[in-house]
Every structure is written in C-alpha cells, then in structure tokens.
Amino acid sequence: MHVQDYIRTIPNFPHEGIMFRDVTTLFLDPRGFRMAVDQLVQPYAGLRFDKVAGLEARGFILGGAVAHQLSAGFVPIRKAGKLPGKVISQDYELEYGTATVELHDDSIQPGEKILLVDDLLATGGTAEAGITLIEKLGGVVVGCAFIIDLPELGGRKKLEDMGMDVHVLCEFDGA
C-alpha cells in the first residue's frame, strides 16, 4: 500500500465544494503511520537537525514522531494565544481574512537547523508564516516535509520560490 491509500477523502467539508483530505485514518493504522513517518524522514537521513518545527495541529503529531526519528528537539508553531510565555507572532492570509501563528521567542537559537513538518500543503500560507518565525529567531530552515500536496493551490511553488527544499509524500487533485 501507499501512503495515499490510508487517507480518507470527505466531500463538502468544511464547506460545499471542498474535498477534505483526512489523515486521521492514516494515523489510526500503525503500519500506515510508520510508513508516513519513515518516508518523511528518508530524504534527510544523514543530515543533522537541531529541531523539528510542527505546524498546528496535525503537524504536532507528525513533528514529534519525525523529531524522535531524527534525534532532534520539537518546536510547536501554534495559533495565536495558545502558547504561554513570551512569543513572536506572524500573520498570514486565509481565503477569507488573516490568521496568526506564534512561536516561543527562546525556542530556536541562531544557526540551528530546522525541518518544518505538517500534514498538508495547500496555499503555503501557514508554512510561509512558520518559516518567517523560524528565520526571525535566526534558525535555518533546511527542509519542509508534508504528507499531502494540493498542487493546484500553489503552495509548493510558493515555498520553492522562497528557496525551500520541499518534500511531499503524495498529491491530490482539487481543493
């Protein structure tokens, strides 16, 4: 089986016309989950990472497992107002408005090598905001890894245009 075989599609969620790609079915299956984590880590074998940054929320599940495999620390990039202590913030565009992600201001040291992880790459706005936060603290984003890419939405191109190495396990057509 392939990673995409474990991913459920839910039509018209959260809105009419959206084909929601649900990775929770992948997470439920021990072999599927292990396969996904192994495939996310594989291109980075032999490289040293200081931290893995996971984007809220499914990026936390993946990021923790990937950090464990890479013997790296884990950094959560959260929605605004969810982290205690001193944070830095970055706004990003949504389809209808803006949102904000935050990072503890002491979670990344200058020069640390970071792998950014999330389940899905759509427009790339959340990932771009996460990269901006990491770079504000002096971190070096060495790669970005995702289970799913929705190529029609242009996120991969956006990140590659920023000079990012982007690794995805599978693609789905449609939003």
**Catalytic annotation, residues:** 58, 95
Place of tokens 């464990």: 68
Which is it for the CA torsion 27, 71, 101, 98, positive or negative?
Answer: negative
Are 129 and 106 contacting, i.e. CB atoms less than 8 angstroms apart?
no
Three-state secondary structure call for residue 50 = coil
Q: What are phi and psi of 70, to 5 degrees?
A: -90, 0
